[in-house]
Structure 1
Amino acid sequence: MLAAMTTTDPAAHANPPNDGVDSELSGLMPRRGYLLALAVLIGALILVFTAWRIARDRELRSAQAEFISQTVQVTELIQQRLVNYELVARGGVSLFASVQRPTAAQWKAYVEGMNMQRRFPATLGLGFSGYVPQRLLVQLQNEWRDAGYGLLSIRPQGRREVYGPILYLEPKTPANVAAIGYDMYAEQVRHTALEAALDSGQAWLSGKIQLIQDGDKQNTGMLLALPVYLGGGRPQTLELRRAEMQGWVYVPFRMGRFVEVALGDTHSDMRFRIFDETGGRDELLYASPNLKTDTTAAFVHRAAFDIYGRTWRIEYESAPVEQAVPRLEGLRNMFALGLFSALLLYSIALMLARTESRARRIALRMTEDFRRSETRFRSAMQYSAIGKALLDSEGRIVDSNPALATIVGLGPAQLLGQRFDSLLEDEDAETPSAASHTEEDGVHRATRRLRRAHGVARQVQLTYSPVPGNVGQDISGLVQVEDVTERMRAEARVHALNRTLEARVALRTRELSQANQELEAFAYSVSHDLRAPLRAIDGFSRILGEKYADRFDAAGNDYLARVRKAAARMGDLIDALLKMSRLARSELKHESVDLSRVANEVIEELRMGDGQRKVEVSIEPGMQVIGDASLLRNLLGNLLGNAWKFTRDRDPARIEFGTQETASGVREFYLRDNGTGFPQAYVDKLFRPFQRLHSVEDFAGHGIGLASVKRIVERHGGTIRAEGREGEGASFYFTLPHDGGGRGE
């Protein structure tokens, strides 16, 4: 900015020493700008890195806390599942407490009642292994054979001091049946678990074993055993426990399936290993299928606990950092955005350092743009088809274009210096034209008559706008002159045609009104004139029936009855015709009408007329409209009467009257019923006079009710439509203006 000021100031060129000072300053300012830009860059980078590091540590801590919370849940689920197994086994112990030794059938009934395969799919069943000293083995085999269970073969064979053969194992799958007779005391891991359960009197969990049912399959199996003593209790001393020992109720299960069922679908993505570290060992019991050794876990957590005589350790591993903390990717993006912002600030500082030299170039360019702008203005003045003139403060023409000279009929030189108002027929500038107006920005438009040098006057459209001139110039405005003579003549012809058309429309309207009045008078007179012959037909047919009934056969009497019925129906149709005529002629009286109250009154009248009917009626409260009270009561009487009539075969019958808002925001009234309904294809016939969709024998009526409803709605400026399905009821939707602005036909 300093350089730009010294360039445009003439005094600066007369003082050479100032040029030296300005050059020195202009050399220092860019250097200061570069140092400031560098400081901004370094500070921004430090701030961005610090903020990113804090946010990253917070996300890592949050993810780690969530991971540890999940590990605690998984550990509790595994422990709880083993507790459930203990509860099942204790039920079997309770069975032995109630019966000294239950039969195989009793054991089967208990296990089936527990529904083991569905509730505990990881188990192979529920079994009982007996505690059999060597001296009682033969006695047990004889009792087994006498009970009808067949030969009890103990395996593996060999003479041992105590045996622990499997006696019961349900459900009886082929693998479980094959396991009967297996001596669990013969295998060291099972023997250790059974002995520990016997000595402690508590449930005991075995170490890793190969289940008998799995054969050669490499599945990790385990069993949970509970001791069974005589009487069901727990003796106080070890000697008494061994003396009263009957056997063990045990639950064999597969470790992999056990963990899978315990976790369910909620924690199926957890990665962990389960180790048995009882007695200083470190034996792997289970490893998650999704555990990967080729990736580095973001977090690791260990949980050790004692359960049923064993010490288990679970080592949890989370997914890699990218998966365990997915929001780190967003933080990286934020870090990149911060770097970009720092570079952007640095770029802005560099741009400010170069502003001085660019300002000099901009000043030169603005000078050239000003010259070109003036050239464009001159070209627009010169070649415009609309007359234009520049006026001074006294309204004299300072400059004009050839188009204005052509419209006025004078040469451009003759126009210079003249008052522009002198070219107009009305020179009184204080009198505003009827076709003039001034806009907010100071632009004034007017239509005036222009005096030509040779020829008739022309109508012109004038547009005055303020135009600031250069310093020293006396230019205050621009006037544009457009010849609109032909256009105004065309508009005058159009207005004349419009007046003629309006006169014709008024004539046709009077003729139509007279025709309507004559038609109504004709309908009224015809309906009255028809009553006399109808009464004669009805009277003479009645006299024939009364005096000569014995001379007619059944067919003759039936014909007379039909004649009287037809005459009565024609009388009803004449009454309906008169009613329709009165609806069209009556004057609307607008007032506030509570449709809810009117509807309730109509329903009460219908209930009093047909007290045997049970109809469920729902009427929305507070439905207020502006309209003619008598016509609106007629409308609801017809609609509710139809709904009452056409639901007579429904049990229960339902009628609902309320409001709803359409998609366009208009309040619409609806009346629904679950009656006979109608085919939607014939909906156009509903609102025509004397058109019926049901026979008179099924539903009485004259066919003018819905026609009257439509007439009333349209007279109030509303619309009505209907929807229905045969046998499923009908719905009517209509609108009434809130302000009561009907047409008042």
Structure 2
Amino acid sequence: MAASTPRQEIEAARARLPRRPRRSHVLAVLVLVGSLLMVALYARGAGERERRLAEASFIADADQLADTVRQRLLQYELSLRGGVALHSAAVETPTARQWRGYVDGLDIRRQLPGMMGIGYVAWLDPRSLAELQLRQREAGEGLFMLSPRGVRPNYGAILYFEPEIESSRLAIGYDQYSDPVRREAMEAARDSGEVRMSAPVRLRQYGREGQSGVLLFAPVYRTARLPVSRAGRENALVGWVYAPFRTAEFIDRSMIPVGYNLAFRIVDVTDGKQVPLLASDGWVDGAEAPDTLHSVTQQLYGRSWRYDFQHVGPLTSGGMRELQATLIAGVLACLLLFAVVMTLAQTQSRAETLAHRLSDSYRRSEQRFRNAMQYSAIGMVLLDRNGAILESNPAMAEIAGVSQAALAGTAFKRYFIDGHDDVSRTQELQALREGVFRSTRRLQRYDGDIREVHLASTLMPGDDGSDVARLVQVDDVTERLRAEAQVHALNRTLESRVEQRTRELTQANHELESFAYIVSHDLRAPLRSIDGFGRILSERYDAVIDPQGQDYLARVRNAAARMDALIDALLKMSRISRGEFKRTPLDLSRMAGEVLGELRQSEPAREIAVRIAPELRAEGDAALVRNLLENLLGNAWKFTANTAQATIEFGMAPGGVFYVADNGAGFNADYASKLFRPFQRLHRDDEFKGHGVGLASVRRIVERHGGTITAEGRPGGGATFRFTLASSPRR
């Protein structure tokens, strides 16, 4: 049979222990259940009490809101009665200007924010209506139009409404008495002499469709004293002062405070009918709506309004949160008490198990340390307080060139060339503070070989009786340091090679400059001789040479001139990469405009559309970028010479890419790679003049700025050149 492990032996010993009844565990469970039951009973009573307090507070807030609505409507009533007093004090009906002054004085927007305005409704019969229309026509106010049209015994027409807005003008001339709902409120106000409110209607101030709202009517009589009889009041009536307000905005605009946890609606329940007037934010209708927690009915200006209140969210109070905190604390106390009892019950069994585990853990920890010492690739030694080697591993013995047995008991410092220990007393104290002390030493092997080693010394914590004082790790880095030395030697050799190549490149540049000088001077002399003698032959021997000879002579002179032009082009292209590079901010839009202006002066008869994007800016050498634009825009100008309605465009695409586009002759895209080579031309010389070095110069300028250039085109469809100018130039 296989030998059992220490862990298996511990588990077997634990299984052999007699199992005793855990009465303490049962007691702990009973304590937990009893304490939780007491907390639950307390929570039930306290929660019911807090709920009743929260409900009472909610009802008080609801009643206060209903009273606030009544107070707001009372302010509306006072403003209407002021308008009634204005009519009663005047000998005649106040003019629209007087009415506007009265309404402006009320400052409705600030003092009465829920009210849309105040108007006056005249009580008219057909005769008085005709007189009113005649007076307005004589006053130059135009014909007073009544709507809806028709002949009726009496009218209640709106004469004016302030403050006047674009939509409120639609209400002027409207016969409110023709509407049954409005007529009911107007007659109630007339017969009672008090302010009366209408049922919900569509307000005329907001177009024919209107918006839902209610109106307050205050009667105006000819006499200051209120007639006693109903007939007398009807005969003394001259009109009504009225005020509309939209129910949908009544709460928001009238600044009535509504709590965040309160939602309500107002329902007109006059005559047993239920007509919703308005509902606040948070009000919920339907099957999922919460129960109405409170209702209040008020009698307001002849109407019965019922306020229904809902509570948004759970019904809680400030004390409910304290109760919840108390309950949480009680539950935590119960659990803590249970944990204490349970901990005491398990202490004895854990103590027995812990003793076995500690012995096993110590043995396994010792074995792990031995394995680490044995199989580590880095040398490790344990030193006592005097610096003597107590124990070492095979890697250390290999580094020192002796056996492990020979290392034991020897002084660690004797293996180093300088002959003293690497850690002094002061450095030991520093290692205690920092954890590890590192150094590089030279170790002499038993065979005399010198090795470079890195030491990492750590003070070992322990009691005063411990013989191990320090752990030192020894890493042989001789081969690595030798490789680093070789790398440094190669770097020094590489620097000398770079300097040599730099000198060679400088010499090559000087040779190129000399070659350019030879081309510009030595090659031009034969060309000037050919052209000069050809001109002399043409002038002096014109009568001797036949026409075919004259043609040959002209071709010789043209070839010499073309050769001279090619030499100039080569010299210009060579100067592009040899001149000093000066980077400055550039306005490319202005520079392109100047180039195209010079082209227009050279051919003023040409009609060509030019589009230059504004504010095109970059950084670069001004002379080189000017040369670049002259070549690209000059090519576009040249290759659009035979194009009707020619266009040239210079702009910038996304990503900082500039482009020059035209609708000229174009080129075959298969040969686009030849465009930027010197003397490579895609058009015959009799079609378009040129030397074939312009685009080669453009490419050198772009590359010297660290950018790129590409070309696109098709025969007869124009060409587009795109280029970039990077932030740093290439030298």
- What is the TM-score when the length of structure 2 is the normalising length? 0.48
